[in-house]
Structure 1
């Protein structure tokens, strides 16, 4: 005959509720009591199955994380670290769903209410439609955004203001006398071709707005996001009549290798060309890149805690947070050498 939770409680000399709490929330049980329960469970070869916990609590203890890129990318890896640091101790697993196009995103939101196999959905860095979000809202499944759009479609969200951040970075270059500035970015495609909108694409708006405010004709180079990004960027730069005095990159993963390659070709950074990035990778700090700082680990941990509070019916404040922009000023930027001829 198989032993049950009542047998464990009797053997340990505690209540059934204490046994249940020991398995589901061990951090809430005193160490001495926890050890008694676990010893009794081991002696009786007993375990509380996940399905039993789900049945009792009405939860799956599973979080869906929707990403577009590889989980090993800088942002996704650090964001996951932050999410897991909060969800894992609370007994939750995180499952990845790779969303490539708006069609695969739509299919996810259509099928999830049928399966009802997660307690919350986290969307990272791309857009959703309000109609898709309403499917989950109607079922009481929180949908949470990290640098995702539009903010008001989510139950909870945390983000940086990509447009504002790049606007400030461009103003920094302009304040140092730069007028011949090139922005290098990955293209965004119209929604009607089935592509997703990404928060990083908002950065080009900030660049163009800052240039237009000072009467500067914005110069934008769009390159494919593939393994040849630096070669593509250099080819486009060398195709110009002259090199710019400053280069503003959409992200550090482009800016860092670009700085290295430009130096190999004899360009001095920042004496000949100022270069900026966005994200603040470890490699950006190593080469002294001026960049915009964001902390996906902290963002993931913060939104995970708010998600747990929401699931536990606790008040969540703020439900939507836009973090302040922080530029890290290092030595890849400098005043233009001759403002009168730039």
Structure 2
């Protein structure tokens, strides 16, 4: 029979398997960022490594507003076309979590703020409070007091995990008697050029710039060098993520491991689908300061 099946290129029907098991064999992933970005691509890679090996497909939903998010949670229990929902870097409210719980669908967070409070079944994430404090203490320890923080603009009405980075950084600076200046990088192709223009328009150039993510820090360093500034002699720059090219250009940054976090989230997801429980449902990964050549002690004439 096996020989005949092989000759006929017979394969087991996924639909029949799903019907027999009562499972959709599909996990829904909610994201806010573009899939091509480092964090999103890494999360997808890590999830797929675990889920695909267990026979599960990954359906990706890009959410840009509360309205889109609510529509997803309203329709999923009706369609019942996913066995679990993974949410990356955005929050859901307690009512939406309860909707899934009532339908027996677990919800797992990756880098989500206050997952217990909002009714997540499980969650993994970097300790953004620790990471941002490391950034602040590193720069202040090097003697910097004229510090600029560059963050992204979130025009959509969702709460994003990167807000924690900003809040913790500002708090850590204020505790040391330093009041950082905040610049907002609006979503556009020219956002880094705009930030450089705003920096050059300040009464005095900062001695250090902390960036919400490497995706800001790396092109910012390039444009500052093009403007004649030496990094780090004139301006220290620090990023956050330890993403693509951070090592190559010598960027000091905070390391997180989205592939590792996603793999852990996928394992918890399979546990919850198959056994309705998982060990250590809420797990925090420590941040790590990676010191490279883009930061240095402030020059004596600028201190």
Please give the TM-score of this superposition, normalised by the length of structure 1: 0.85
Output the CA distance in 2 between the equivalents of 1:43 and 1:266. 68
Residue of structure 1 equivalent to 2:196: 234
- 2:121, 2:259 → 1: CA distance? 20
Runs of 5+ in structure 2 lacking a partner? none
1:202 — aligned with what?
164
Q: How big is the shift at 1:188?
A: 4.2
TM-score (ref. length: structure 2): 0.95
- What are the equivalent positions in structure 2 for 1:277-288 lying under 5 Å apart? 277-288=239-250
| Gap change, CA 1:45 and 1:337, over 3 Å in 2 | closer
Which residue of the other structure, out of 134, 141, 147, is the alignment partner of 1:181?
A: 147
Bigger relative CO (Cα 8 Å, ≥ 6 apart): 2
Partner of 1:96: 60
Q: Which secondary structure state, in structure 2, belongs to the residue aligned with residue 151 of structure 1?
A: coil
Which whole-Å CA distance do the structure 2 matches of 1:285 and 1:45 have between them?
Answer: 47
Structure with max Cα Rg: 1
Residue 307 of structure 1 deviates from its aligned partner by 1.1
1:301 maps to 2:237: no
- Deviation digits for residues 267-317 of structure 1, max 9, x if unmatched? 111111100001111211111000011111111111111211221207522
Residues 79-90 of structure 1 aligned to structure 2 (within 5 Å)? 79-90=43-54
Q: CA contact under 8 A between 2:185 and 2:191: conserved in structure 1? A: yes
Distance apart, 1:43 and its partner CA: 4.3
Match of 2:223 in 1: 261
Q: Higher helix share goes to which structure?
A: 1
Tell me the distance in 2 between the aligned counterparts of 1:233 and 1:307. Answer: 40
Larger mean CA deviation between 222-231 and 84-93 belongs to 222-231
Match of 2:108 in 1: 144
Distance 1:211 1:314 in 2: 43
CA contact (8 A) 1:188 1:201 kept: no
**2:126 and 2:285 in contact (8 A); partners too:** yes
Q: In structure 2, how many angstroms separate the alpha carbons of the residues matched to 1:137 and 1:173?
A: 44
| Secondary structure class of the residue paired with 1:66 | strand
Counterpart secondary structure, 1:254: helix
Q: Secondary structure at the match of 1:282?
A: coil
CA shift, 1:42, in A, is 2.8
1:270 corresponds to which residue? 232
Task: Give the aligned length.
Answer: 301
Match of residue 70, structure 2, among 106, 115, 118 = 106
Structure 2: distance between partners of 1:217 and 1:279:
24
Return the match for 1:159 from 125, 136, 139.
125
Alpha-carbon contact 1:128-1:150 (below 8 Å) kept: no
Q: Please provide the CA RMSD for this pair.
A: 1.5
Query: CA-to-partner distance for each residue in 1:173-228, whole Å, 9 max, x for gaps?
Result: 00111000000111346xxxx61111112211122111110111221111202211
2:183 to 221, 232, 244: 221
Point out 4+ residue stretches in structure 1 off by more than 3 angstroms: 43-47
Tell me what 1:24 maps to: none
Contact 2:221–2:237, Cα closer than 8 Å, also in 1: yes
Checking the alignment, whether the CA contact within 8 Å between 1:223 and 1:229 is kept in structure 2 is yes
